[in-house]
Amino acid sequence: MVIDGAITEDLRGQCTALGLRIATPSAGCGAAAEGCVLAGTAHVDAVRQGLAPPFSGFVELGDEGLLGVGLRCFDTVRAGGFSLSLLTGQAYRLNTTELLSEGIRRNMGLAAGKAADLIEICMGEAIGNAVIHGNLGIPNHLRTTSKGFERFRLVLHERLADPVLSRRRVEINVMPRGADFLTISVSDQGHGFDLAGQLSRGVQSDAKSGRGLAMMRKVCASLLGEDDGRTLVMTFAR
């Protein structure tokens, strides 16, 4: 792990516990180039750098270092995929979906076209749900009326300012599945979501919520929920 920032004793201990070798930006990835993650303050250039070779991912360092980062991130990188772990505040403020789409094109060789566009749309929907409904716990029904939408905006800004909620993590892990498929998992640290129940109920044509999930179900080769509904796993044909 290349750490762009102060390396405290707590952070060093966290890396040791996770089996991560620490390097500085001047040293670079070295021999660990195939499984090297950049960690530091999350801004557009840093995230873009972490999602491009020689790196295989970016982890935003919080006030408590790597605390809360899911093991899935490091397992994904070690298995040949790439990963992004952001605190909720930055996941909302950055153009996270666009940065990830760039990373998929660079790392996975996904050509521009309809398939890439649909993957980006589904990924954006999943990340938005993880931030707003998962980590910030804002119910979807608030956005179904103009009055409700004003309330939604107020609650959104209140919860983004909450020091606990804004520090929950959103994590996106991308893995190739042979030459023909790509799996993207989006994880949050909220209370979970009953994916199976929602899929079984379906969505009415005039419904004002749930249409994003219906679209994902149509586009994905498979759509699964894990971690008690806190992780959405989407598999796409390339």
Sequence-ordered list of residues with C-beta below 8 angstroms from that of 99, at least 6 positions apart, any chain: 44, 47, 48, 51, 84
Residue spans per domain, the chain:
2-237
So what's the pLDDT on residue 212? 82
CATH topology of domain 2-237: Heat Shock Protein 90 (3.30.565)
- The answer to whether 238 and 110 have CB atoms below 8 angstroms apart is yes
| Residue whose C-alpha is closest to residue 70's, from 159, 149, 4, 130 | 130
Q: What is the pLDDT of residues 220-236, one digit of tens each?
A: 999 999 999 999 999 99
Q: What is the pLDDT of residues 153-207, one digit of tens each?
A: 999 999 999 999 999 999 999 999 988 999 999 999 999 988 877 777 765 544 4
Q: What is the pLDDT of residues 49-84, one digit of tens each?
A: 999 999 999 999 999 999 999 999 999 999 999 999
Angle at 85 between CA 105 and CA 115, to 5 degrees: 25
So what's the pLDDT on residue 205? 47
Give the rounded percent of residues in the chain with a pLDDT score beyond 90.
Answer: 74
